[in-house]
Chain A
């Protein structure tokens, strides 16, 4: 595949999308009133700002999930070489899990898993 095709593809994309937008600007009927800029055009009135505050508990859950999720990344390479490395690799991953579980226990003890 040559890069000319890529450029052609991009140009085509820009022309198609841009053309549609420009075309609709001329053709489409437009009416402007304040109700048009409401988030829900069907009529439900907006109560407050969209930037509301969430419970910080969401953050705690997300962060604990994130940490354990990313650590999984290291288990895949380990799985690939586990057979070649033998017992050493097994003990190493046990140590890894032990420290991870300690982290989870710590979060548990601190009440991070309790929903307030």
Chain B
């Protein structure tokens, strides 16, 4: 039997729901003229929530094991919190625009409720909670993707996202139903205990991987990604590519390790193929993109391929490398998206050719973009290098020649990715332009967000204690 004190275990979720509800009450009772208050209110409340999130939590299980929280999961939530806080800062200039009047608080409510969904997804102890969290994390994003109601592209992005995610969750559910039929339970622990490698269970598992592959945008299931990323408003795109992908990667790792640990050799083969396809095709398509959002979309598909390498490590070091890489990926990708969003807000341009000669007019932003792209490419002194390095070592430590080949393919792909990341750098620093984007001053919140990114990239890369801490937490998986 539960008493009310047990609810402290889900403090993260309750606080975040509280923030969303406060924003909703604000939307109902604040008059239309002073709606701008909500922006600052939300950012401050979310900052408080992020700080409180780092306080020690009460570990345990709730609702008969449907929900569980421990240090590892709390760490994952804190990582997501940092990312969302940066996104909130970056989007404050965009949401203030005249075109978004009358839907300010909707942006925040939808964003925060998807984050609640991701929390529940990460903390889920059975497939029901996993599915609930997944849906709560995707349905509002479709509404967010269609947020620019005056743009055709945005409406198109929303429709593509909702249809493809609904299909993918249908497939995922079909897999879950097969697993339920053969094991007699939807709880992770019981499914793992009763997993007998029957063919129906394997089929269910494959359906499950296909459904999750949609969410992480692995390659045979990636077709929605580029269109949605291009059409959605830029801050929503960064949210999609960083936070929701991060949460899906986390829960995918947890489920693979905890529920399907018995068939690890089997999903290693599956992930092997998916990783090679995802890295290669993501990279090859990224080369020919000229729209910055589309370019970053394909780059994020390619990065998802690298993440699979860490999951294949199948041990604590593998999990650590995944979480560590995600932390770096969140900070760097948000840095890149922050620059793109600042430029878009100031000039309305998002094509790579418009970036020609940016260094002459906006040197700080160009340097920042260069740093973020170097980190994404994995050039040594920056944090991205360490992230990729740990991913590669974790899979190489499996000591099998086929994994060495995989690492070789991954390194080749990292080299290809260097080419297209440097294309943007070349555009900014070398290519001449008669009328480059004029100098503009980034607004203060976005400035703070970018500073956090830069600071974080260096901090995570150079302070070994962070890796050690993540390693320590990862033993709780």
Binding site for B on A (CB under 8 A): 85-86, 88, 91, 99, 102, 105-106, 109
The reply to whether the CB of B24 lies closer than 8 angstroms to some CB of chain A is: yes
Question: For the complex, what is the distance from the CA of A102 to the CA of B25, rounded to whole Å?
Answer: 7
* Residue in contact with B28 in the complex, picked from A86, A99, A109, CB distance below 8 Å: A109
The reply to whether the CB of B448 lies closer than 8 angstroms to some CB of chain A is: no
Question: For the complex, what is the distance from the CA of A109 to the CA of B24, rounded to whole Å?
Answer: 11
Q: How many A-B residue pairs have CB under 8 A?
A: 19
A-B contact pairs, 19 of them (CB 8 A): A85-B1, A85-B2, A86-B1, A88-B1, A88-B2, A88-B3, A88-B4, A91-B4, A99-B21, A102-B21, A102-B24, A102-B25, A102-B28, A105-B28, A106-B24, A106-B27, A106-B28, A109-B27, A109-B28
Across-interface contacts of A86 in B (CB, < 8 A): 1
Across-interface contacts of B1 in A (CB, < 8 A): 85-86, 88
Nearest A residue to B17, CB-CB: A99
Across-interface contacts of B25 in A (CB, < 8 A): 102
Question: For the complex, what is the distance from the CA of A102 to the CA of B26, rounded to whole Å?
Answer: 11
Across-interface contacts of B3 in A (CB, < 8 A): 88
Question: For the complex, what is the distance from the CA of A109 to the CA of B3, rounded to whole Å?
Answer: 36
Question: For the complex, what is the distance from the CA of A80 to the CA of B157, rounded to whole Å?
Answer: 43
Mask, B8-36, CB within 8 Å of A = 1, is 00000000000001001101100000000
CB distance from A57 to the nearest CB of B (A): 18
Across-interface contacts of B4 in A (CB, < 8 A): 88, 91
Question: For the complex, what is the distance from the CA of A105 to the CA of B26, rounded to whole Å?
Answer: 12
Question: For the complex, what is the distance from the CA of A39 to the CA of B24, rounded to whole Å?
Answer: 50
Question: For the complex, what is the distance from the CA of A85 to the CA of B3, rounded to whole Å?
Answer: 10
| Contacts beyond the supplied A88-B4, A102-B24: 10 A-B pairs with Cβ under 8 Å | A85-B1, A85-B2, A91-B4, A99-B21, A102-B21, A102-B25, A102-B28, A105-B28, A106-B24, A109-B27
Closest 5 pairs between A and B when the two form their complex, measured CB to CB: A109-B28, A105-B28, A102-B24, A88-B2, A106-B28
Across-interface contacts of A109 in B (CB, < 8 A): 27-28
Question: For the complex, what is the distance from the CA of A91 to the CA of B6, rounded to whole Å?
Answer: 14
Nearest B residue to A105, CB-CB: B28
Question: For the complex, what is the distance from the CA of A106 to the CA of B28, rounded to whole Å?
Answer: 6
Across-interface contacts of B24 in A (CB, < 8 A): 102, 106
Nearest A residue to B103, CB-CB: A110
Across-interface contacts of B27 in A (CB, < 8 A): 106, 109
Question: For the complex, what is the distance from the CA of A18 to the CA of B27, rounded to whole Å?
Answer: 61
CB distance from B10 to the nearest CB of A (A): 12
Nearest A residue to B7, CB-CB: A88
Question: For the complex, what is the distance from the CA of A88 to the CA of B5, rounded to whole Å?
Answer: 10
Question: For the complex, what is the distance from the CA of A11 to the CA of B3, rounded to whole Å?
Answer: 59
